[in-house]
Amino acid sequence: MEQRHAVRLRPGVTLGGAPLQLVGRARVYACGITPYDVTHLGHAATYVWIDVLARVLGSAGVEVTVCRNVTNVDDVLTAAAHRAGEPYDRFAAIQQFYFDGDMAALGVGRPALEPRAHAYVAQVIALASGLLERGAAYERNGQVYFRGAEVPGRAGLDRETALRLLDEYGDRPGDTARDDPFDVPVWQSSDGDEPGWDSPWGPGRPGWHAECTAMALDAFGPAVDVQAGGADLRFPHHAYQAALAEALTGVTPFARARLQSAVVSVGGAKMAKSTGNLVLVKDLLAHYPASAIRMLILDRRWDADWDYDPADLDRAAARVERLAAAAGRPSRGTPGSGDAVRTATQSALANDLDVPAALKIAEEAGGAAARDLGAFLGLR
């Protein structure tokens, strides 16, 4: 007699409103931190959401590989290290240590791959050479610029907004050496105490976007399933990272989906050191359990900007208590309805990571459903 095997159908995952069809595995490239400063709530939100994405993809039956880089070669970092009187690599390693501690305390899973930019200089040089060969880049005064005139349009931005963002994120669109203000350095010349490596174009260092392109290509080849990071990376960073990869490999799109987690503001203002309104993860952890911080981050839509109010953390802690109370009472419903509830919570999560909907279902059902969801989301 023919042997039949039961195949369990799992809910398909949608992300950003579109189905993310996956067979067997998922490659997630997450832009990590530039280790020059303490970890704040905005960082925590980004990496907790990426952590949940990985858990949801894993429960959908695919093998998930998260690659989260460390941008330890960066002009902002160099400047901060200089102010601290430390070599940039030592300074970065210390900041990285604190970041790792905060992430571990928040229950964020350690990524399988954690490339550090300084170890990928040869790959950036190969990327720059390849782009030059393909006519997608040109050399000028020891710098290699990528021809990016089409990038803002493809990102759906008007010229003025794109210029403002390029300037804000340090891409210096006013640099007159480039043919077009939207060209960005793949390789930039270094002098003085800037970190520098030998290259065919003289001593220099990688451009920010090119670092992530090189690390992603090295980790995953020409495409990824999800490109992830904070919403502030949408443009220019993610747009140029993808454009550089596509120009080199000819494989389009570089990323099949994106998880760009929402901006967290404080009192209506962008969180920034200069504004003095940074909400630090270590300060929150001193007064609240990690489960409350995760609940604060997760009990909302991942792509809707939000404003932090300290009272929200008390509400999140109370919500964790309610979930725990629901987990402690017997399940509502008829015997055997547990599977249906489990499927319903999984479907909610698979539907664009709808944590609030999953929480509602599990809390109403109580018992094992609430226990399982609490454990799955790291909320206990």
In the complex, least distance from residue 260 CB atom to Zn ion, rounded to whole angstroms: 12
Q: Which is nearer to Zn ion, 211 or 363 (CB)?
A: 211
Mention every residue, 6+ apart, whose C-beta is less than 8 A from residue 164: none
72 Cβ contact partners less than 8 Å away, ≥ 6 residues apart? 34, 35, 88, 89, 92, 93, 96, 116, 117, 118
CB 285 within 8 A of CB 105: yes
Closest CB to Zn ion among 20 and 212?
212
CB of 238 to Zn ion, least distance (A): 7
228 versus 320: smaller Cβ distance to Zn ion: 228
Least distance in Å: CB of 237 to Zn ion? 6
Report, in Å, the least distance between residue 29 CB and Zn ion: 8
246 versus 363: smaller Cβ distance to Zn ion: 246
Residues paired with 366 in a beta bridge: none
Distance between CA atoms of residues 211 and 277, nearest Å? 30
Smaller CB distance to Zn ion: residue 212 or 323?
212
Cβ proximity to Zn ion: between 209 and 294 the closer is 209
In the block, residue with structure tokens 């010229």: 159
Burial-class residue 333 by CB neighbours within 10 Å (0-12, 13-18, 19+): middle
CB of 197 to Zn ion, least distance (A): 19
Q: How far is the CB of 272 from Zn ion (least distance, A)?
A: 19
Q: Which residues pair with 266 in a beta bridge?
A: 269, 308
* Two structure tokens written together for 199: 């290259």
Residues found near Zn ion in the complex (CB under 5 A): 31, 212
